[in-house]
């Protein structure tokens, strides 16, 4: 039975995640990857001292761009209610799982609802780990970079939470006694490690996809500053060839600075993706091996080519190729990111698609 407290915690965790996602999106909407146009207004002082004025304007634009990637629009570190919301949601899901554990008498990973909520908790935990440990933040404060990552990771946590809370039938949400085959200590070992690996692989793949998007935007907007960016009304300035050349030179300085900052942002995503996937892959390996040992103990066979086993192996191969290209081939950037993007699809098919649509030992048979 679903207790009122469990129902409240489930809905409350969804609400806080939803609000957190909106907050992250609103905060990053104040920032653009393309720097604003450099506009020179007609000014007698400016016309008389073109060289020094343009130099100060260009430097100001460069400094503003340098600041934007490392700071929030309002300062070095702003209050981040999105982060606080994710933390509250994480604690709510944790309490919910503990209550389910106490009610059922076994670790709460025996059905799809519990595994989805555990995955949502895993995704929020990884997000908080990134903010608190990678960026060295205090609760409630964060730079822009951490907010950008929050806007990427929270939708997946929200999706799993919403799917578990609002889409699954009530009978699939209720705790039930374990079948004999699941009454084993391997339940906690195998399923927990697999869900943790899914969470890490999903987060790492999302950052790889973000890397592809950012590099694509940078490629399509490399020529940000053109002659049209200069105020056409300043005919007196435009007629001064020497001064115009100086202005063009400073424009190029801003372009180069903005390109470097976009590249730095993309490299950060690429490195974080690599590190997180480097954690998720060993967890996936341990999960598959522990599942094989458990299967032999329960059914007398290490491997039966169950759809879940097959897709887990395919997912393992995808990320093995990713790590091989990074470690041995020295690939960085677009090529391994494309492989990680393929892994993102593979993880969701392995976890959710097979569980709902496939037939086998891991299938819940909702759509059958």
321 and 354 in a common domain: yes
Specify if 58 maps to a domain: no
State the pLDDT at residue 111.
83
CATH code assigned at 83: 1.20.120
328 and 260 in a common domain: yes
Domain endpoint, select from 131, 165, 199: 165
The DSSP secondary structure of 291-316, one letter per residue, reads: HHHHHHHHHS-S----HHHHHHHHHH
Among 154, 153, 131, 146, smallest CA distance to 71 is for 146
197 and 107 in a common domain: no
Please give the tally of structural domains in the chain.
2
336 and 227 in a common domain: yes
Specify if 37 maps to a domain: no
26's CB contacts (< 8 A; 6+ apart) are none
Q: CA 107, 108, 109: angle at the middle one, nearest 5?
A: 100
208 and 349 in a common domain: yes
Specify if 346 maps to a domain: yes
84 and 112 in a common domain: yes
160 and 189 in a common domain: no
282 and 222 in a common domain: yes
For residues 167 and 303, is the Cβ–Cβ distance under 8 A? no
Specify if 42 maps to a domain: no
285 and 151 in a common domain: no
208 and 141 in a common domain: no
* Gyration radius from the chain CA atoms: 26
Separation of first and last alpha carbons in the chain: 25
Specify if 277 maps to a domain: yes
Total-model pTM: 0.75
331 and 218 in a common domain: yes
Specify if 362 maps to a domain: yes
340's CB contacts (< 8 A; 6+ apart) are 204, 205, 208, 209, 273, 277, 319, 322
The DSSP secondary structure of 230-280, one letter per residue, reads: S-TT-HHHHT-HHHHHHHHHHHHHHHHHHHHHHHHHHHHHHHHHHHHHHHH
Q: How far is CA 24 from CA 85, 118, 158, 160, in A?
A: 10, 23, 13, 18
Specify if 172 maps to a domain: no
State the pLDDT at residue 132.
80
Other Cβ atoms within 10 Å of 263 Cβ, number: 13
The DSSP secondary structure of 346-358, one letter per residue, reads: HHHIIIIIHHHH-
Domain endpoint, select from 133, 165, 197: 165
Tokens, residue 176: 């039930």
State the pLDDT at residue 78.
56
Burial grade of 59 (CB within 10 A; 0-12, 13-18, 19 or more): middle
Specify if 46 maps to a domain: no
Mean pLDDT in consecutive groups of 10 residues from the start of the chain, 368 residues: 80 94 86 44 42 43 43 50 92 93 82 90 93 63 74 93 88 74 76 94 94 76 35 44 50 52 81 93 94 82 82 94 87 87 93 70 46
Q: Which domain holds residue 194?
A: 185-368
């Amino acid at each position: 039975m679903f207790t009122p407290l469990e129902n409240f915690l489930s809905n409350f965790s969804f609400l806080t995640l939803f609000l957190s996602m909106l907050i992250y999106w609103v905060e990053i909407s104040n920032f653009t990857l393309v720097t604003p146009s450099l506009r020179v207004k007609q000014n007698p002082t400016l016309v008389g001292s073109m060289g020094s004025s343009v130099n100060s304007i260009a430097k100001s634009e460069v400094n503003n761009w340098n600041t934007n990637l490392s700071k929030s629009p309002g300062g070095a570190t702003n209050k981040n209610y999105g982060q606080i919301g994710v933390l509250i949601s994480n604690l709510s899901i944790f309490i919910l799982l503990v209550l389910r554990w106490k009610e059922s008498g076994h670790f709460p990973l025996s059905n799809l609802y519990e595994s989805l909520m555990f995955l949502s908790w895993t995704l929020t935990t990884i997000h908080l780990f990134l903010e608190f440990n990678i960026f060295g933040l205090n609760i409630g404060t964060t730079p822009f970079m951490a907010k950008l990552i929050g806007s990427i990771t929270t939708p997946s946590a929200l999706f799993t939470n919403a799917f578990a809370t609002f889409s699954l039938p009530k009978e699939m949400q209720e705790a039930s006694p374990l079948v004999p085959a699941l009454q084993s200590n391997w339940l906690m070992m195998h399923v927990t490690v697999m869900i943790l690996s899914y969470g890490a692989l999903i987060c790492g793949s999302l950052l790889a996809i973000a890397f592809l998007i950012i590099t694509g935007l940078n490629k399509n907007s490399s020529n940000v500053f053109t002659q049209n960016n200069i105020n056409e009304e300043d005919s007196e300035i435009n007629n001064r060839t020497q001064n115009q050349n100086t202005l063009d030179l400073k424009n190029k300085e801003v372009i180069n600075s903005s390109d470097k900052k976009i590249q730095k942002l993309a490299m950060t995503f690429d490195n974080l993706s690599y590190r997180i996937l480097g954690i998720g892959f060993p967890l996936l390996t341990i999960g598959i091996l522990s599942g094989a040992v458990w299967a032999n103990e329960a059914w007398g066979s290490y491997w039966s080519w169950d759809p879940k086993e097959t897709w887990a192996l395919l997912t393992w191969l995808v990320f093995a190729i990713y790590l091989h290209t990074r470690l041995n081939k020295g690939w960085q950037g677009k090529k391994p990111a494309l492989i990680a993007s393929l892994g993102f699809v593979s993880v969701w098919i392995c976890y959710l698609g097979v569980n709902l649509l496939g037939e086998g030992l891991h299938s819940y048979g909702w759509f059958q």
